[in-house]
Amino acid sequence: MTRVKICGVRRLEDALVASEAGADFIGLVFVPERPRRLAMDEARAIVDGLRASRAPEDDVPQVVGLFADQSLDVVNDTIRDCLLDRVQLCGNESLDYCRQTEAGVIKVLHVPGGEPEASVIDDLAERVSAYREAGHLVTLDRLVAGIPGGTGQRFDWAVAQEMSLRGHPFLLAGGLLPENVAQAVAKVNPWGVDVSSGVETDGRKDPDKIRDFVRSARQPPLVEN
């Protein structure tokens, strides 16, 4: 089953909609100067409310904190203060940096737009392998200069498809919508999908789009003739 991450959540009610829809991960942004960034008390209220909403035996989405080239002290303090399950590292964090975080890691690797050369694909495959062999999840997202994610821009899915064909599990991000996620899953066969702006209306999370996205991500793959 395709895993689903709803990212850039800023309100408890949106986290609850995502949880009830069956999302596996909820993403909270802690990157400075990003529009979806949360203060520590706001994030903790979402985490507490989300976990209090379900019985102990029920599955609750894992809460993922997003960071980009921030100090390890900041990342680890936030993990402890907000009781994060994982961190998503969206900058140039090294394997050694990842090793020192106090929660599981999702490492974002950025893919250039356009049709990349074979050497670029080979380099990406090597980087995916390195992080996966170290025990980390990987997200593939579109490279946009100066912005670590959440742009709503996609890269060539043929690149991600090639990663799948080489046996690399990853989350696919960038330009995903309720209307195209089933097609993306059918073409790419990712381990999971990650969405933020694609389930928003006028800059706010849209409950209907969240539900539609999760449902469409888990539809049986389309058979292409």
User: Domain spanning 3-216 has what CATH number?
Assistant: 3.20.20.70
Each residue of 110-157: pLDDT tens digit? Answer: 998 777 778 888 999 999 999 999 999 999 998 765 565 555 678 889
Each residue of 189-210: pLDDT tens digit? Answer: 999 999 999 999 999 999 999 9
pTM for this model (two decimals): 0.92
Q: Which residues are known to be catalytic?
A: 7, 141
Which residue has better confidence, 154 or 82? 82
Give buried/exposed letters for 87-109 (b at 16+ CB in 10 A, else e).
bbbbeebeeebbeebebbbbbbb
Name residue 134's amino acid.
A
Which residue has better confidence, 76 or 55? 76
CA dist., res. 96 & res. 84, Å (int): 20
CA dist., res. 140 & res. 108, Å (int): 6
**How buried is 23 (Cβ within 10 angstroms: 0-12 exposed, 13-18 middle, 19+ buried)?**
buried
How much is the pLDDT for 201? 97
Helix axes 207-217, 12-21, angle to 10 degrees: 30
Mean pLDDT of 66-81: 98
pLDDT confidence of 225, banded at 50, 70, 90? very low
Are 184 and 157 in contact by the 8 Å Cβ rule? The answer is: yes
**How many CA atoms are closer than 13 Å to the CA of 64, on its beta-carbon side?**
26
